[in-house]
Structure 1
């Protein structure tokens, strides 16, 4: 019986901590309704993006370096969610290994979770060439670690575009509402709230061919080492009109 109560306490404590974070105004992003949807072409210049709320609170939680500018915007309509990242980067890393090109690249990242425990969540990592690394993942609240990462999984209907600019790169994406519904990602009956983690892999190529790997997040998960795969990285993305 003591073991059961101990496990319950661990789970309850983790959930309370998550909801405390998600309830913080600094961990909520409002996705505005699109009167006119943006064209997803990777250029990021469509005027429709001006109606989206800009989010620029991205930092390096695990190093003292000044973080390069990162801006995220999102919109929605009945058919889809629309995302855009504008990323400052003076030293782009673009992977060429066919088996791990995206993982060796700078990239913008979005995770969406089915529940606060992260018993099921899905990753989306998009590099400067619009290539996507996606996975069906799971986290164990008791072990406090990721216990599943199926990289053979892909987002149904996802459209990605990207372009390299003078100052970095732009990533745009369109995700069908039907996909979100089918994956049971809505957090309320009104289908207006998502559990979302917004991150960035900021890599710098080194002279010896290796990579200096920096990791940026919207929400600091308060972990000792870089780790996007935990409940503390997630906040709330709310659809509003």
Structure 2
């Protein structure tokens, strides 16, 4: 029996006009559906509002996280995956099917560093795998109330990885928020679009995914 996945509709826009800086300008983002129904099932603490938006134009899939948080923690020891993994970040996972064999993870911190890897079930991670550089771009920005992580991924790369089927991408949308607890120790709050119904935080599980429907 197939699970019924939570759904987000990705609005189709006209092909992007080339401009030098932002991934998309703010007037274009206004056309997107705004996803805000995130949860943190493992903690009772409140967390900052998150707005996630996505668009596509047949050539690229565009995404935009706006997180209403200005107390950002970045581990700047180095640019290793370990360092990114200890930083406030947003995450997009894409899977080929519910067996998670394989799925692909993009974890992006507020400075634009990307932890990209291929994964198999039971948290079997291949950190040598990289999303092709020419097929992904990420930009970050901040204002007085929030930070933004936005990017674009080529539709061709998603197809090459067998991640688009019937105009649908099965995806997880997540956030890790680090807060100082004591003795300079930072602890994460794990936030997910789909409640995976696990006892302890786990995004690397089939029940944490929903689906993005690429509208025509």
Is the TM value for this pair above 0.5? yes
Alpha-carbon contact 1:40-1:161 (below 8 Å) kept:
no
Please give the secondary structure, in 1, of the residue aligned with 2:40: coil
Summarize the alignment of residues 64-103 of structure 1 with structure 2, pairs less than 5 Å apart. Answer: 64-98=44-78, 99=80, 100-103=82-85
Could you report, residue by residue, the CA deviation over 1:118-138 in whole angstroms, capped at 9, with x for unpaired residues? 010000011111110111001
TM-superposed CA distance for 1:68, in Å, is 1.1
- CA-based RMSD of the aligned residues comes to 1.9
Please give the secondary structure, in 1, of the residue aligned with 2:30: helix
TM-superposed CA distance for 1:43, in Å, is 8.5
Structure 1 partner of 2:155: 177
Bigger mean CA offset, 99-108 vs 168-177: 99-108
Summarize the alignment of residues 202-241 of structure 1 with structure 2, pairs less than 5 Å apart. Answer: 202-206=177-181, 208-241=183-216
Structure 2 partner of 1:9: none
Summarize the alignment of residues 21-32 of structure 1 with structure 2, pairs less than 5 Å apart. Answer: 21-22=4-5, 27-32=6-11
Higher helix fraction (1 or 2): 1
Query: Structure 2-normalised TM-score?
Result: 0.91
Query: Structure 1-normalised TM-score?
Result: 0.82
Structure 1 partner of 2:145: 167
1:118 pairs with one of 95, 100, 106: 100
Aligned length: 211
Runs of 4+ in 1 over 4 A off after TM superposition: 38-45
TM-superposed CA distance for 1:215, in Å, is 0.3
Alpha-carbon contact 1:112-1:195 (below 8 Å) kept:
yes
Please tell me whether Structure 1 or Structure 2 has the larger radius of gyration of its CA atoms: 1
Distance 1:45 1:89, change over 3 A: farther
Q: Which runs of 5+ in 1 are unaligned?
A: 1-15, 140-144
